[in-house]
Each structure stands twice: as structure tokens, then as C-alpha cells.
Amino acid sequence: MSLNRKLKYSLAINEAINQAMEKDESVFLIGQGVESPWYVGNTCLGLIEKYGRERVIDTPVSENAITGAAVGAAIAGMKPIIVHPRFDFLLYACDPIINEAANWNYMNGGRLSVPVVFWPIINRGGEQAAQHSQALQAIFAHIPGLKILAPSNAYDAKGLMISSIFDPNPVIFVDDRWLYNTEEIVPENFYDVPIGKANIISEGTDLTLISYSFMITQCKKAIEELKNRYSIELIDLRTIKPIDIETIKKSVNKTGKVVVVDATWKSFGVSSEIVALINDYCFSSLKTSVKRVTLPDCPAPAASTLEEVYYPDYKNIINTINEILL
């Protein structure tokens, strides 16, 4: 019997990794700062003490080298989880991720797999500026052979991390530090959340709101503010790729009005792909054009006063919903 209790998002990730390492000795964790709360919060708490430095490997600052080592280990039969404390610097590791891991299964006719989890953490706000604040999931979502996951709550974070670790092919688990102190009911037992299946958080008939990761918290606030005026359906994608188009289609065909909320840049991003898919599959059901709430097409500012304008929140979502429904 499992015990349900409230657990912080960061500790839910920690529990997922711990239970996966208990279950399978081929699972190991590698990356910068895995023993440093400053880098990774409580997500790796106590793992070195329990499993030792052969399975929890704190590395030098060399993203390409350590990612290449993890990909090689996965090809050899291990199940590595490689943490990148800042998503920005995953770009240094594009060669082993895109040229090797993403293509390995295809180039070997499906006979070989690369069970590796790339775990980049988004760091926004706090005057971290343009080179330390980027959410780059759209770049990797463009690549065939990569799955992109982005949980919004502690329950999904644990279940999706477990699904990622035991998936036979490469997964990018998009984490967001702004979620670390949020809490959710999480079972103690070992469980997974299916990859590629969205979650309908609230049902509605007036408008479909589509988002993922941290912006789900802002969507919930917007819906709460508007609950006496509109009936809004909220879809948490959970998986960016493969995207759950069937859930989106069913909702859009019901409501006919859509707002997509995505805390990345507007041009050529995740929101752009969602809008394109809606036009492909649901065009005849649309009563108005699909609206988006995104970052502006410019790098992140350093000044806190500018950050307040740069990063969208529930107020921007409310304003966009009102544009459609008023």
C-alpha cells in the first residue's frame, strides 16, 4: 500500500532517482554539482551518501565531455542520468546529444538503443541575464529521436523522471527551478507517468488553455481569477514531444477558442508548433485565431525591474483570455 503525502517538487525528483537506482544497478547519476544544493537544490540530496561516488559522479565543468561519456555508457548498456544545472550550457553538448544519441537507434535499424536522460534545469529571474536564463526546449524538440518532457508538478515530476530513466531511448527532462518549492500529493511507491499523454487539469467549454511546466501554475491562477466569468479547459502537455495531439483536438473541437502559454520565445518555438498543429487538425472548429502568451523575442534582461515586464505571468494570461472572450 502506498502512502500519499505532500512533497516538494525538488524532493519528488530526488525520490524518483533514488527509487530508480534502488531498482536497477545500471542507473547512475552524473553531472556538475550533484553534491551541491547551490547547483541542484534538493534534487540529489543524500544520493552520494547512499550509492557512493561510482554511481553518483560529480564532474568538472566540461559539458561536452561528460555528456559524451554518459551517451557512451548508455550505448554500452548503462542507464545514465546526466544533470546540466543550467539549460544554457547544454548547448556545449549538442554533438553527443544530436549527432549520436538521437540517431543511434535509427542508424542501427532499431536493434540498439541509448537509454539516457539529459536533465537540463531552467534558471530564470534573479538578475541572471541572457546567458543563464534560457529555456531551449524548442531547439531539441526539432530533432528526430529525442523525447522532450516538462512536468509542472511534483507528482508528474516523479512519474515522468522514472519513465525517462527506463525509456530505451534518449529523453530530455526539462526541469524548472521556479517549481522546486511547489508541493503536490505524491505516492511513496514506485510509479511512472506515461510519456506522450497530456493531463486535463480543469474542464471547460468557453476556451482551451494549453501550457506546460512552470506556466501551468500561472494558468491555474488565471483560471481562479476568472472562474466566475468563464469556463476554461486547461491542458498540461507534460510531454512536448511526442505531443498528445488527440487530447488537444478533442478540447479545441469542443471550445473553438485557444490560448497557448509558453515561457519561451515566440518565434519558431513550442507555441508555434502547437498553433500549426491546431490549424492542421482543428481549423474548421476554430471560432477565432489562436492567441499566444510567450516571452518577447529578445534576450533576458539583467535588471529586476525589466524582468518583471519580460517574464509573463497570470495577468498576461488573463488579458489574453479577455481579448478573446470579452
Same domain membership, residue 163 and residue 27: yes
DSSP state of 242: S
Check if 63 is active-site: yes
Q: Has residue 193 been placed in a domain? A: no
**Is the per-residue pLDDT at 1 higher than 60?**
no
Query: Which of 187, 210, 225 is the C-terminal boundary of a domain?
Result: 187
Told to judge if 84 belongs to the known catalytic residues of this protein, a careful annotator would answer no
Model pLDDT, residue 31:
94
Total number of domains in the chain? 2
Q: Is the predicted pLDDT of residue 276 greater than 90, yes or no?
A: yes
135 contacts 263 by C-beta, under 8 angstroms = yes
pTM more than 0.85: yes
Instruction: Indicate the average pLDDT of the chain.
Output: 95
Range of the domain at 81: 4-187
Same domain, 171 and 286: no
CATH number at residue 268: 3.40.50.920
Q: Which of 140, 137, 178 has its CA nearest to residue 262?
A: 137
- Give the residue from 211, 162, 214 showing the smallest Cα distance to 186: 162
Q: Is 123 helix (H, G, I), strand (E, B) or coil?
A: coil
Reported as a pLDDT band with limits 50, 70 and 90, residue 2 is low
Q: Which of 63, 100, 233, 307 is catalytic?
A: 63
Count CB-CB contacts under 10 A for residue 247.
Answer: 18
Instruction: Note whether 107 and 229 are same-domain residues.
Output: no
| Residue percentage of the chain with pLDDT more than 70 | 99
Share of the chain above pLDDT 90, in %: 92
In a domain, 45, yes or no: yes
Whether the per-residue pLDDT at 27 is higher than 60: the answer is: yes
Q: Which of 35, 127, 132, 188 is catalytic?
A: 132
pLDDT for position 41? 80
Mark whether 178 and 284 lie in a shared domain.
no
Task: Tell me: do 61 and 153 sit in the same domain.
Answer: yes
Q: Does residue 4 have a pLDDT over 90?
A: no
Among the three residues 187, 208, 230, which one is the final residue of a domain in this structure?
A: 187
Given a contact cutoff of 8 angstroms between Cβ atoms, the answer to whether 270 and 141 are in contact is yes
One-letter-per-residue 3-state SS of 292-313: EEEECCCCCCCCHHHHHHHCCC
Does one domain contain both 128 and 249? no
Q: Assess whether 79 and 56 both reside in one domain.
A: yes
Same domain assignment for residues 171 and 318: no
Say yes or no to pLDDT of 122 above 90: yes
Residue 40 has pLDDT above 90, yes or no: no
Residue 304 domain-assigned (yes or no): yes
- Rounded average pLDDT over 114-139: 94
Q: How many other CB atoms sit within 10 Å of the CB of residue 17?
A: 26
The contacts of residue 259 (CB under 8 Å, 6+ apart) are: 207, 208, 209, 210, 290, 291, 292, 293, 317, 320, 321, 324
Based on the fold, state whether residues 319 and 244 are members of the same structural domain. Answer: yes
Please indicate, yes or no, if residue 98 is contained in any of the structural domains: yes
